[in-house]
């Protein structure tokens, strides 16, 4: 939601200037339409429509494979219309085919759009009650393999691990807009280590907004919830993957939204997962 919608001409002009300033975007946009390359190559070159989901699911599946875990879960907080969950399911199928790791997909949502903002921390000057509603029946019909968890996130998160007993969670996307909802979603990480890989890849959508009055900072919204989570937990820390933008063949804005949950006292945290062909003896 934006407070001053731009005209169609304005939006087109802005997109054109972005392409001219970053011509690599145009190359990637064309390549996405061409059916070539392996799954791994298409992940590496951002050739999927939601490259952050491709990255998170692939990395989680690969970590599981190296740890000898044959089944994992991936989670989306904030399903809304469902396009993201559709793509997450597709990425799960592709990652399973590439790694052999089976992947269960869970989507959390109220089912009724955003709840009423609690206070200033929920950015009520941007988000309104009822925004991002869902057609539950249509989504169920389109995503028979996904597990929808509907209701107030505070309640559903509290019951989820004990009730569903999911395979270890390896990737989580959080796009619930509010501070209060993000804080509730992050409470899932307080669960037993058996429900998680030692490092959980995360995509945090609402840490960077567009340039139309959305002023994310450490005192409101997702960023505040993350800061408070880290302050409250000694051996659980949510941290950026430093330099990710420079490691990628195609640097992109979504790189800045990727973090990892480190479970430092997880029994598998210290297990070696480097490639067996890694060159560790360097010549003189």
Question: In this structure, are 33 and 79 located in the same domain?
Answer: no
Co-location of 179 and 111 in the same domain: yes
Give SS3 for 184.
Answer: helix
Q: 3-state DSSP call for residue 8? A: helix
Same domain, residue pair 134 and 153? yes
pLDDT at residue 23 in the model: 59
Confidence at residue 2, expressed as pLDDT on a 0 to 100 scale: 40
Structural domain contains residue 99: yes
pLDDT in tens, 60-76: 999 999 999 999 999 99
* Residue 130 included in any domain: yes
127 lies in a domain?
Answer: yes
Q: What element of type H or E holds 262?
A: strand 258-263
Q: Residue 196 contacts by C-beta under 8 Å, 6 or more apart in sequence?
A: 168, 169, 170, 189, 261, 263, 266
Together in a domain, 23 and 123:
no
Confidence (pLDDT) at 1 = 39
Half-sphere exposure of 115 (CA within 13 A, CB side): 18
* In-domain check, residue 198: yes
The DSSP bridge partners found for residue 172 are: 75, 202
Same domain assignment for residues 29 and 136? no
Q: Are residues 203 and 173 in the same domain?
A: yes
Q: What is the per-residue pLDDT for 136?
A: 86
Query: Does residue 277 form part of some domain?
Result: no
- Neighbouring CB atoms inside 10 A of 272's CB total 8
Same domain, 88 and 205: yes
CATH number, domain of 183, equals 3.40.50.150
26 and 58 in a common domain: no
pLDDT of residue 3: 42
Q: Are residues 150 and 204 in the same domain?
A: yes
Q: Is residue 281 part of a domain?
A: no
CA 274 to chain centre: 24
| Number of folded domains that form the chain | 2
Confirm whether 278 is domain-assigned.
no
Q: Which two tokens stand for residue 31?
A: 């390549």
Whether 18 is covered by a domain: the verdict is: yes
Domain extent for 23: 9-37
State whether 24 and 130 are in the same domain: no
CA 120/CA 220 separation, integer angstroms: 7
160 and 221 inside one domain:
yes
Indicate whether 155 and 64 sit together in one domain: yes
Q: Which residues of the chain have pLDDT under 70?
A: 1-6, 18-34, 210-212
229 backbone φψ class: left, alpha, beta (φ>0; ψ -120 to 50):
alpha
pLDDT at 282: 72
């Amino acid at each position: 939601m934006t407070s001053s919608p731009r005209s169609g001409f304005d939006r087109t002009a802005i997109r054109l200037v972005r392409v001219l300033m970053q011509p690599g975007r145009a190359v990637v946009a064309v390549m996405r339409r061409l059916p070539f390359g392996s799954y791994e190559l298409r992940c590496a070159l951002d050739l999927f429509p939601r490259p952050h989901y491709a990255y998170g699911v692939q990395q989680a599946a690969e970590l599981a494979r190296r740890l000898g875990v044959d089944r994992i879960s991936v989670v989306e907080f904030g399903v809304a219309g469902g396009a993201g969950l559709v793509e997450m399911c597709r990425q799960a199928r592709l990652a399973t085919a590439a790694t052999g790791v089976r992947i269960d997909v869970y989507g959390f949502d109220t089912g009724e759009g955003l709840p009423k903002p609690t206070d200033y921390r929920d950015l009520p000057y941007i988000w309104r009650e009822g925004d991002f509603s869902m057609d539950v029946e249509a989504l169920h019909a389109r995503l028979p393999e996904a597990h929808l968890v509907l209701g107030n996130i505070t309640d559903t998160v509290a019951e989820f691990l004990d009730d569903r007993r999911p395979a270890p969670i390896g990737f989580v996307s959080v796009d619930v807009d509010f501070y209060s909802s993000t804080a509730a979603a992050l409470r899932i990480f307080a669960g037993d280590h058996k429900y998680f890989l030692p490092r959980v890849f995360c995509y945090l959508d609402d840490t960077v907004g567009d340039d139309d009055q959305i002023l994310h900072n450490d005192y409101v919204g997702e960023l505040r919830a993350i800061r408070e989570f880290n302050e409250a937990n000694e051996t659980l820390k949510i941290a950026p993957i430093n330099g990710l933008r420079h490691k990628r063949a195609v640097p992109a804005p979504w790189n800045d939204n990727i973090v990892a949950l480190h479970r430092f006292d997880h029994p598998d945290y210290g297990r070696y997962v480097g490639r067996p062909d890694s060159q560790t003896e360097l010549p003189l």
